[in-house]
Amino acid sequence: MKSSGGTAATMTIGELSARFDLAPHVLRHWEAMGLLAPATRVNGRRRYAQDHITRVAMIVGGKSGGLSLEQLRGLLAARSPEDRRELLERHHAELQRRIRDIEQSKAMIEHALDCDEHDFTRCPNFQRLVQDLAEGARLHAEEHTLRRFGRPQPDGG
């Protein structure tokens, strides 16, 4: 970043995109979506300041964490801390579920790597891991149905 006199240090679109290993068109797209505030223009060229660096880092980090651009836009445009919290709590729960699924899959792979059985899929320990994974998938499907359609009424309706 360069500084000219008393003005804040800025960088070009190429410098900012390179800093995050992005193509410049990605920053333009985020700007068009409202995720990134328009850069100031100097001689017709975009110039980005520290606030832009912070925002790009937040977008990149959010995407790495599994947030979609729409979710990020909702997060950044949240009207209240409660709205922001609700969105983040939903995403946090989804991340927790994904972490559990990944840990179960990792356990299955580790068992298959270390299993002495000719056909590791017939190993009783591996079968228990598969059953745990299948049970977790069934519970996730039930949770998704409840979130989508609500809890069943006691009278069946």
Instruction: Quickly list DSSP for 52-75.
Output: HHHHHHHHHHHHHTT--HHHHHHH
Range of the domain at 118: 80-149
**For the ranges 5-19, 42-56, 134-148, the one whose mean pLDDT is highest:** 42-56
β-strand partners of 2:
10
CATH of the domain at 25: 1.10.1660.10
Q: Model pTM greater than 0.95?
A: no
Q: Which of 22, 43, 75 is the last residue of a domain?
A: 75
Token pair recorded at residue 116 = 């002495």
Q: How confident is the model at residue 43 (pLDDT cuts 50, 70, 90)?
A: confident
Together in a domain, 32 and 61? yes
DSSP 154: T
Which pLDDT tens digit goes with each residue over 76-133? Answer: 888 899 999 999 999 999 999 899 889 988 988 898 898 888 888 888 888 888 887 7
